Structure 1
Amino acid sequence: METTGQGHATSVPTSESVTAATGATGHIGATALVSSEFAPRTTYLNSASTGLLPARAVSAMHRGALSVAEGRPEDMFADVEAARASFARLLGVAPERVAAGASVAVYSGLVAASLPVGAEVLTAEDDFSSTVNPFHVRGDLKVRTVPLERIAESVRPGTELVAVSAVQSADGRVADLPALRAAVRAHGARLYLDASQGTGWLDLAAHMADVDYLASVAFKWLTCPRGVAFFVVPEEAAGFGGVPPLFAGWVAGERPWDSCYGPVTELARSARRFDESPSLFAYAGARQSLAVIEELGVAAIRAHDLALADRFRAGLAELGQEPVPAPGSPIVSVPGLGARQPELSAAGIEVSDRAGNLRAAFHLYNTEADVDALLGALRQGGRG
Structure 2
Amino acid sequence: MDFDFTGPHSGPMETFETLVRAEFAPKNTYLNTASNGLLPARTVTALHRAVRLRAEGRPLGSLYEDVEAVRASFARLAGVPVERVATGASVAEYGALIAASLPAGAEVLTAEADFSSLVNPFHMRADLTVRVVPLERLAESVRPGTALVAVSAAQSADGRLADLPAVRAAARTHGARVYVDASQSVGWLRVDPDGYDFLAAVGFKWLMGPHGATFFVGPGAADGFGGLTPLLAGWSAGERPWDSCYGPVTELAHAVRRFDVSPALFTYAGLRTSLELIEELGADAVHAHDVALAERFRKGLGSLGHEPVPAPGSAIVSVPGLGHRQGELSAAGIEVSDRAGNLRAAFHLYNSAADVDRLLDVLAG
Match of 2:221 in 1: 236
Which position in structure 1 is the counterpart of 2:5? none
* Equivalent position amino acid for 1:200 in 2: G
| Partner deviation per Cα, 1:251-284 (whole Å, 9 max, x = no partner) | 0111110111111111111111111111100000
RMSD after superposition? 1.4
Pick one of 134, 146, 151 that aligns with 2:133: 146
Three-state SS of the structure 1 residue aligned to 2:130 is strand
- Segments of structure 1 that go 5 or more residues without pairing to the other structure are 1-21
Say whether residues 1:165 and 2:170 are aligned partners.
no
Q: Is the 8 A contact 1:27 1:303 kept in 2?
A: no
Distance in 2, matches of 1:365 and 1:334, equals 22
The SS at the match of 1:238 is: helix
CA drift of 1:328 comes to: 0.6
Give the 3 Å change call, closer, same or farther, for CA 327–27 of structure 1 in structure 2: farther
The secondary structure found in structure 2 opposite 1:153 is helix
Query: Is residue 286–residue 349 contact of structure 2 (8 Å, CA) maintained in 1?
Result: yes
Q: Is the alpha carbon distance of 1:26 and 1:310 closer, same or farther for their aligned partners in structure 2, counting shifts above 3 Å?
A: farther
Once residues 231 and 301 of structure 1 are traced to their aligned partners in structure 2, the CA distance between those partners, rounded to angstroms, is 22
- The answer to whether the 8 Å contact 2:34/2:346 transfers is yes
Report if the CA contact (8 A) 1:88-1:98 is conserved: yes
Letter in 2 for 1:229: T
Conserved 8 A contact 1:29-1:367 = no
Task: Pick one of 39, 45, 48 that aligns with 1:53.
Answer: 39
Task: Give the TM-score normalised by the residue count of structure 1.
Answer: 0.91
Equivalent residue number for residue 75 of structure 2: 88
* 2:299 maps to 1:314: yes
The one of 166, 181, 192 aligned to 1:194: 181
What's the counterpart of residue 9 of structure 1?
Answer: none
SS in 1 for 2:194: helix
CA–CA distance in 2 between the matches of 1:26 and 1:202? Answer: 19
* Among 344, 362, 365, the residue aligned to 1:377: 362
Aligned-pair distance for 1:26? 6.9
Q: 1:96-130, CA deviations, whole angstroms, 9 ceiling, x for partnerless residues?
A: 11001110011111111111111110000000000
Equivalent residues in 2 for 1:18-29, closer than 5 Å: none
Q: Is the 8 A contact 1:128 1:168 kept in 2?
A: yes
* Offset at residue 27 of structure 1 (A): 5.5
| Deviation readout 1:203-226 (Å, 9 max, x if unpaired) | 11xx21131100000111111111
Question: What is the alpha-carbon distance in structure 1 between the residues aligned to residue 285 and residue 23 of structure 2?
Answer: 17
- Residue 4 of structure 1 corresponds to none
In the alignment, is the contact (CA less than 8 A) between 1:306 and 1:329 conserved in 2? yes
Whether the 8 Å CA contact 1:29–1:366 is kept in 2: the answer is no
Per-residue CA deviation, residues 209-247 of structure 1 (Å, 9 max, x unaligned), is 131100000111111111011000001110110111001
Gaps of 5+ in 2: 1-7
Distance in 2 between residues matched to 1:221 and 1:28, nearest whole Å: 22
For residues 268 and 292 of structure 2, the distance between their equivalents in structure 1, rounded to whole angstroms, comes to: 31
Deviation by residue 1:294-349 (Cα, 9 ceiling, x = unmatched): 11111111111111001000110010000111111010000111111111111110
Counting aligned pairs with the same residue, the percent is 69
Contact 1:98 1:233 survives alignment (8 Å): yes
Q: TM-score, normalised by structure 2?
A: 0.96
Amino acid across the alignment from 2:225? F
User: In the alignment, which of 246, 249, 256 is matched to residue 241 of structure 2?
Assistant: 256
Q: Is the 8 A contact 1:165 1:193 kept in 2?
A: yes
Paired residue secondary structure (2:210)? coil
Task: Single out whichever of 234-243 and 29-38 deviates more from structure 2.
Answer: 29-38
Mean Cα displacement is larger for which, 73-82 or 48-57?
73-82
Runs of 4+ deviating beyond 4 Å:
22-30
What per-residue deviation string (whole Å, max 9, x for no partner) do you get for residues 151-190 of structure 1?
Answer: 0010111111000101100000000111112111111110
Is the Cα contact below 8 Å between 2:165 and 2:195 reproduced in 1? no
Residue 25 to residue 332, structure 1, CA distance change in 2 (3 Å): farther
Separation in 1, partners of 2:298, 2:311? 10
The answer on whether the counterparts of 1:28 and 1:301 sit within 8 Å (CA) in structure 2 is no
| Paired residues of 1:336 and 1:356 also in contact (CA < 8 A) | yes
Judge conservation of contact 1:101–1:229 (CA < 8 Å) in 2.
yes
SS of the equivalent of 1:170 reads coil
Q: Identify which of 58, 81, 84 aligns with 1:72.
A: 58
